[in-house]
Structure 1
Amino acid sequence: MTANPPSRIAQLRQASVAMLDGLTPAQQRCQSHPELSPMLWHVGHVLFMETYWLAERVFGDTSVTNAWRDLYVPELAAKDERSARLPEAPDLRRWASQIAEQNDANWQHARNVDHPLLADGYLAAFVRQHYAQHLETMRLVRTQLALAEYTPAPTAIEAESPDTVFETVGAHVVDIGTATIDAYDNEQPVFTAYPETFAIAARCVTNAQWLGFIDAGGYQNADWWDDAGWAWRESAQVEHPQHWHALENGWFIPTPEFADIAQAPVHGIGWYEARAYARYAGARLPRELEWEAARRAGVLSGVGQVWEWCADAFYPYPGFCAFPYDGYSMPWFDGGHFVARGASLHSEIEIRRPGFRNFYPPTHRHIHAGLRLAYT
């Protein structure tokens, strides 16, 4: 029996559909970045997945999901093939309204149903987080669309050194992971860790500090990069964060979320770039366990402004067990995805907990991620 009413799910649904507002039909259908799907697809996908888990998995009703499975199941529709197959926005909005009504009725019915997925409110929490994660992705879609519309003008910013204030975290014992019902499988089981003494920056690296890295030849000096990162940098011809624009008289840094752009945390950088900066600064990226230990100790300022790259490849915790399906975490324990912690300004409350683990390939630069330095 579920203890979670659907009111928050209804809010997240409405917020998802509202992501279509203010966009032209072409923008709604546009694939704004190779790693992002069109806005229309995201809206349809989140409603489809709520219906899949609730109507199909709990009640055995496939009347909705069978009709849309080959479009809204990610594995069945390549990103670059989705746009042409999507319905028009008015049709999608009508469908969304119908699905919302059906799902609200199913959530009410679920209160009196005994099903493993409903135990302790698990499924409602799972669905809320799925909506929350896609809302963040939809905000990234809107960001990429906006970048194409900006008129570049110089941003007043001066380069700064990598100097920063560090907080020392002494050797101690800490529980790592999330014990509550909303935990994803990769956050469990909770285990005891024994981090040695380390130092971690009180705040994230800023845009001004990143400009210092650029001015110091950060994208030209291979000594600060590992071999794979340098090969990627040369191949992709990367010379600055993803959303920065080089002008004849300076840089255009479109970061409307922050009033003080120079001191705002840098983002638009991948893991390779983050690690190169850390070496330039004479430091390193924090290990994932260190980051969570420092977060739980309360020594990190500005958490939740940008995702923060950690040193680790995404890995299973001791005793990991996939749930509710193998595909959420297991395929990404491949050594090619790296952990980012802390949430961003685009993140909903559902994924801002200390134990939440995000993970991406080291080349992803559109995800509003930055870095915080550490050293032993």
Structure 2
Amino acid sequence: MASETVRPNPADLGIEDLRTHVADEMQRTRDRSIALTSAVDDDELVRQHSPLMSPLVWDLAHVGSQEEIWLVRDVGGRQAVRPDIDDLYDAFQHARADRPALPLLGPTEARNYVTTVRDKVLDLLDRSPLEGRRLVEQAFAFGMIVQHEQQHDETMLATHQLRNGDPVLDDEPPPAAVDADSLPDEVLVPGGPFVMGTSTEPWALDNERPAHEVHVADFRIDTTPVTNGQFLRFLDSGGYDQPRWWSEQGWQYRQRADLRAPLFWKDDGGTWLRRRFGHVEPVALDEPVVHVCFYEAQAYANWAGKRLPTEQEWEKAARFDPRSGRSLRYPWGQADPQQGRANLGQRHLRPAPAGAYPTGAAPCGARQLIGDVWEWTASDFAPYPGFTAFPYREYSEVFFGASHKVLRGGSFGTDVAACRGTFRNWDYPIRRQIFAGFRCARTPDSDELG
């Protein structure tokens, strides 16, 4: 994928510059959707590569349907393009496993549909005042649709990882970890209050709001995500066969699903190989482990004498600047990510080695908190104090509860538009097809605090 350019903050733009920014973001996002769907032939577009995922053609038409509903109809107040397909592309109406049996739009029809919708959206973007309603202030609805499509692009990327066949996606090799050997294993984050969440980020989604003060006790957190090499030591020690490291629910799932290693790993006579977007290659020991579920991450942390960080701990490590006493937009400051700071945007189809991106380090010294792998936390997905669903309950509210665990930080497949220091992801603790890894934390002993 193309490298990032400097992206302005919508909050800093006048109306006309904001229109240009929105149009650029929508085009950049659509280019990615087209690249992911044009990389395979039409037969593969309509095929279900895993019951966990939709056919790629469903995702393509779905992003068009949401764009039509929210922008053409709601923001623009214009005549519906295809109201007859609303139910087909309502994610709550049909489980992913059932979608191939639906009368979906074919590849050509889906492409024509999303193009028609986009033409209408660009026309109304030129005419919308971008003020007067909360939905359009600072182009929020347009930013919401950009993020929605980018989230589905990452989902489509996960589908590409699940498909069998020759490689079809191109990427660049990630940067090396320049000073990894000199990094400490952990960093200390002093206890105290910090401001979690945001009330000012213009395109932040409802579950990131509002900003609120949280007190976190002293904790230590791994400097980098747990690597394949570290996780292999847990595996080689028999960690998958010892119930003592697993929670009761985790052990039940490990047995039921017969988990023996991260997803896509294979033992080839004593050498561990992985399948990565059609390539079969030795497991890279210095890269963050990916495609592990919450229960595997939790078991590793127990084995290592640690635990998973809470969501509050993760965000304090990623955002709190003790020099100013303020929370930053990103670990490195207020500016959006650039190539040298984080592995985002599908530029590399793998995590970068642990210790990469020194200029992206947080004030506490932790690295790669943004990009590379989504990081499981110990926290259930829950609303912040003062939460208000906006613009619809189904984005966040219906998922709150103990059945979903929070992931933070984004992955190599996450776009910068859908990733920031306050961004919250969530999933079932059994999910392994997502680009998820983790880092550990622990409560320090009193003699470590000086």
TM-score (norm 1): 0.91
Please state if 1:174 is matched with 2:208.
Answer: no
Q: Of 78, 86, 95, which residue of structure 2 is paired with 1:78? A: 95
Give the counterpart letter for 1:293 in structure 2.
K
Report percent identity of matched pairs: 32
Partner of 1:232: 253
Cα distance in 2 for residues equivalent to 1:89 and 1:165: 49
Answer whether contact 2:67 2:117 (CA < 8 A) is retained.
Answer: no
1:210-269: CA deviation from partner (whole Å, max 9, x where unpaired): 111111111100000011111111111111111111222422123479998111000111
Aligned residue in 2 for 1:342: 409
What is residue 201 of structure 1 aligned with on the other side?
Answer: 222
Q: CA deviation at 1:83?
A: 2.1
**Structure 1 stretch displaced more, 66-75 or 306-315:** 66-75
In structure 2, distance between residues paired with 1:259 and 1:105: 50
How far residue 33 of structure 1 moved from its aligned partner, in angstroms, is: 2.3
- The answer for the alignment partner of 1:270 in structure 2 is 293
Q: Could you tell me whether the CA contact under 8 Å between 1:186 and 1:357 is conserved in 2?
A: yes
Does the C-alpha gap of structure 1 residues 113 and 171 become closer, same or farther in structure 2, counting only changes over 3 Å?
closer
Q: In 1, distance between residues paired with 2:106 and 2:66? A: 19
Give yes or no for the alignment of 1:308 onto 2:375: yes
- Cα distance per residue 1:271-306 (max 9 Å; x no partner): 011000000000000111111100114122123100
Q: Kindly tell me: are residues 302 and 255 of structure 1, through their superposed partners in 2, closer, same or farther at Cα, counting changes over 3 Å?
A: farther
1:253 equivalent in structure 2: 274
Unaligned runs of 5+ in 1: 151-162
Q: Which amino acid aligns with 2:121?
A: N
The equivalent position to 1:211 in structure 2, one of 209, 229, 232, is 232
The answer to whether residue 311 in structure 2 is matched with residue 294 in structure 1 is no
Change (3 A) 1:241 1:22: same
Amino acid of the structure 2 residue aligned with 1:200: I
SS of 1:284's partner is coil
Aligned pairs (5 A) from 1:53-132: 53-84=70-101, 85-111=103-129, 114-132=132-150
SS across alignment from 1:335? strand
Q: Report the CA distance shift for 1:188/1:259 in structure 2 as closer, same or farther (over 3 A).
A: farther
The alignment of Structure 1 onto Structure 2 pairs a total of residues equal to 363
- Give the aligned partner of residue 153 of structure 1: none
**Equivalence map 1:347-358=2 (5 Å):** 347-358=414-425
Deviates more, 1:327-336 or 1:92-101: 92-101
**Secondary structure at the counterpart of residue 220 of structure 2:** strand
| Worse-superposed segment, 321-330 or 137-146 | 137-146
Question: What is the Cα deviation at residue 12 of structure 1?
Answer: 1.0
Report SS of the residue matched to 1:337.
Answer: strand
Q: Aligned partner of 2:253: which letter? A: W
Which residue of structure 2 lines up, in the alignment, with residue 320 of structure 1? Answer: 387
Of 328-337 and 163-172, deviating more is 163-172
| C-alpha displacement of 1:65 | 4.0
Q: 1:171, 1:59 → 2: CA distance?
A: 48
Q: Deviations over 1:134-189 (max 9, x none)?
A: 1111111111115x558xxxxxxxxxxxx971100111321100231111111111
Shift of 1:131: 1.4
- Counterpart position of 1:7: 24
Residues of 1 paired with 2:282 and 2:410: CA distance?
19
Query: Do the aligned residues in 1 keep the contact of 2:130 with 2:136 (CA within 8 Å)?
Result: no
Amino acid in the other structure paired with 2:420:
R
Q: Which runs of 5+ in 2 are unaligned?
A: 1-13, 168-182, 321-361, 444-450
Work out whether residues 274 and 309 of structure 1, in 8 Å CA contact, stay in contact via their aligned partners in 2.
yes
Cα distance in 1 for residues equivalent to 2:184 and 2:45: 42
